[in-house]
Chains A and B, each alone.
Chain A
């Protein structure tokens, strides 16, 4: 990975031009929707009707004003934040405890628990919704934060356990042994030694899991039916239907909705990329 780039030869390189062309093409394709979204959000409705592709004549910020002051975007984002934070926190605590035991303790059923938990990663969430919907109806958990947080936490936990167990296993044994000789309890070792050493893995985990909860539509639609509990993704699907005829306004909403994740991505590229690669199964 430390390889030094080859010194570029001076003679003309047709293949080099081709490679640049491929990258430029890929970039255009990757950016086109975002470019369309941003450009359109700055047009007036009338201008969009006449010209759907070009740059805006003058920047119209009214749509952003509407999104901020006349829609529920902040409420939706608030709900998404509550759910993501709640689910990630719950899952992280449960997984740290579980993964620590699986990685560092001897007990009957350890291997079975780990492989079962790991295989759950491949089970489609939609398979679980019918019984959970019926159960939640009986328990009055539909449209409650705690109900949805529980489901999300459950769905992301198999991956958390998998990642943390693998990471805990790579920590050198000596650390544990010397700590135990000093009389530290398991909980103390976990809190004072293992977790601080695992911060990169934990950060990756938080990124992947938060993104999963933030981006989910299926669970949000089924289990959070109340208007005031709607998440950002469910809100978007309502928003685009309600203002379907006002495409610039819709696009301003989309800019607003995608901004948090794009900003976080640009700020923490490395963790995003590592995390998503590790979590690619989700």
Chain B
């Protein structure tokens, strides 16, 4: 499970609902009355047990063991993570510590003035090692600590690669190699590439990977929305053209259009489709189910951009609200969560890695998981550009475009046209947010 997977209402929908709640209300500057009590009291609203069972045990244990402050945790429902925080912030009743998804999902709270910059509050070393990714940066400040990572990966079934006479330990690195492999898989009677796109999210992931191929910085993607850059330019819709290529060559699994995201990944694990998109946090389970026969790779390279072919790392994070009466104590607790002992406890309780690079990887038993983290977390990586997309574009272009390309209804070029039009509509519908995006683009270009 990841942020997209949970139910009818995804976090993005709720982000938008939440923005509705928060925006417009006066973000009253609360007098900062530092609590004078001996042990400060902190409230912490968090999420994640839903996608990472065991996280609750970790939080409970951490809170119990922590002596410098009394922390009261509350596990939030998926649907209200953003709206509940923004409403509370608008009403001046935000928690001290808040769980924050990456990119635009927390940037709106930043723009509304609900979240405190962490630089100067939390030790720089902790901020950096926690892997918050570039997308937590705005106006020169950083607003989140990384908590646990979501490597965005392409996966492939090694047994099927073997069966088709491919080298399962050397998956395709370039797009041409991918096409050659797909050809071989196809002639061996195997569905080469795919998954499920009926609920749309597969299209987000595909574009999230594809965006990186032809750009040199994350800011360039933001420019596509502010109008500085143009989706009709071939390099900016090349990923949809590539998708069209896969479709036309008959490389996509025939049931992709009527299958949903997770059942689609299960097809790869079950040996029915050879290659597809997934997230790293699924790997421990999928690797176990196949006896270590699921391999991971970055999207095969077709573009000349600086970000092409680099591993993509998204990170779930945590921050401090602007209304916190005791931000120093909150910062100290976050530093505690990033201590080596707590990082180990995180793994023990959840079976998944914390985002911090100081985590001692040797405790992880599954070699494929270790290997993935070495490449996605500890080597040079890039942020997940799917987190830069405005909601309206997400709904009206990102998901529908991919669905229609996959079923052969439109070409990649037409998808670019659609994207251009929707981006333009977004600017017309949301003149006030465009300004924030422009500032953000400058930050991300750095």
A interface residues with partner B (beta carbon < 8 Å): 133-134, 137, 143, 221, 225-228, 234, 237-238, 241-242, 244-245
Complex: how many Å from CA A242 to CA B20? 27
A-contacting 9-mer, from B79-87, B132-140, B280-288, B311-319: B79-87
Is the beta-carbon distance between A227 and B79 smaller than 8 angstroms?
Answer: yes
- Tell me whether A225 and B9 are in contact in the complex, defined as CB-CB below 8 angstroms, given that A245-B263, A245-B266 are known contacts: yes
Q: Is B41's beta carbon under 8 Å from chain A?
A: no
The 4 closest A-B pairs by CB, nearest first: A245-B263, A238-B7, A227-B77, A237-B8
Chain A nearest CB, measured from B53 CB (Å)? 13
The answer for the CA separation of A123 and B352 in the assembled complex, in Å, is: 51
B interface residues, tally (CB under 8 Å): 20
A245 proximity list for chain B (CB < 8 A): 260, 262-263, 266
Q: Is B5 among interface residues, defined by CB-CB distance under 8 A?
A: yes
The 0/1 profile, CB within 8 Å of A marked 1, for residues 386-400 of chain B is: 000000000000000
Would you call B8 and A234 a contact (CB within 8 A)?
yes
User: Max chain B CB contacts within 10 Å: which of A137, A221, A226?
Assistant: A137
B45 to chain A, nearest CB (A): 14
- Chain B residues at the A interface, C-beta cutoff of 8 Å: 5-9, 14, 17, 20-21, 77-80, 83, 87, 199, 260, 262-263, 266
Residue of B nearest to A227 (CB): B77
Q: Which residues of B contact A225 (CB under 8 A)?
A: 9, 14, 17, 77, 79-80, 83
Q: Which residues of A contact B83 (CB under 8 A)?
A: 225
B87: which A residues are within 8 A, CB to CB?
137
- Judging by beta carbons under 8 Å apart, are A228 and B7 in contact? no
Question: Shortest beta-carbon distance, B359 to chain A, in Å?
Answer: 29
- 15 new A-B contacts at CB < 8 Å, known A221-B8, A242-B6: A133-B20, A134-B20, A137-B21, A225-B83, A226-B77, A226-B79, A227-B77, A228-B77, A234-B8, A237-B8, A238-B8, A241-B7, A241-B199, A245-B262, A245-B263
Question: Which of A143, A226, A241 gathers the greatest number of chain B CB atoms within 10 Å?
Answer: A241
B262 cross-chain contacts in A, Cβ below 8 A = 244-245
* Complex: A234 Cα to B271 Cα, angstroms: 33
- Complex formed: what's the CA distance from A234 to B20 in Å? 22
Secondary structure call for the B interface: helix
Q: Which residue of A lies closest to B260 (CB)?
A: A244
Tell me, rounded to whole Å, the shortest Cβ–Cβ distance linking B96 to chain A.
21
B78 with A242: CB separation less than 8 A: no
Contact B80 A242 (CB under 8 A): no
Cα distance A192–B366 in the bound complex, in angstroms = 75
Please name all residues of chain B whose beta carbon is closer than 8 Å to the beta carbon of A137 when the two chains form the complex.
20-21, 87
Give Cα A225 to B80, complex, Å: 7
Q: Across the interface, which residues of A come within 8 angstroms of B80, CB to CB?
A: 143, 225-226
What are 30 A-B pairs at a CB distance below 8 A?
Answer: A134-B20, A137-B20, A137-B21, A221-B8, A221-B9, A225-B9, A225-B14, A225-B80, A226-B79, A226-B80, A227-B77, A227-B78, A227-B79, A228-B77, A234-B8, A237-B7, A237-B8, A238-B7, A241-B5, A241-B7, A241-B199, A241-B260, A242-B5, A242-B6, A244-B262, A244-B263, A245-B260, A245-B262, A245-B263, A245-B266
Output the least CB separation between B189 and chain A (Å). Answer: 18
Complexed CA–CA distance, A171 and B382 (Å): 76
Name the A residues within 8 Å of B263 (CB-CB): 244-245
Complex Cα gap A137–B80 (Å): 12
Rounded to whole angstroms, the CA-CA distance of A133 and B262 in the bound complex is 32
Minimal beta-carbon separation of B56 from chain A (angstroms):
14
Closest to A130 in B: B20
**Which residues from B are CB-within-8-Å of A143?**
80
B77 contact set on A, CB distance < 8 A = 225-228
CB distance from B281 to the nearest CB of A (A): 16
Partner of A241, one of B8, B20, B266: B8
Which single residue of chain B is at the shortest CB-CB distance from A237?
B8
Contact, CB under 8 Å: A242 / B79? no
Write out the residue numbers on chain B whose beta carbons fall within 8 Å of the beta carbon of A226: 77, 79-80
Closest to A49 in B: B270
Complex Cα–Cα for A241 and B4 (A): 11
A8 to chain B, nearest CB (A): 48
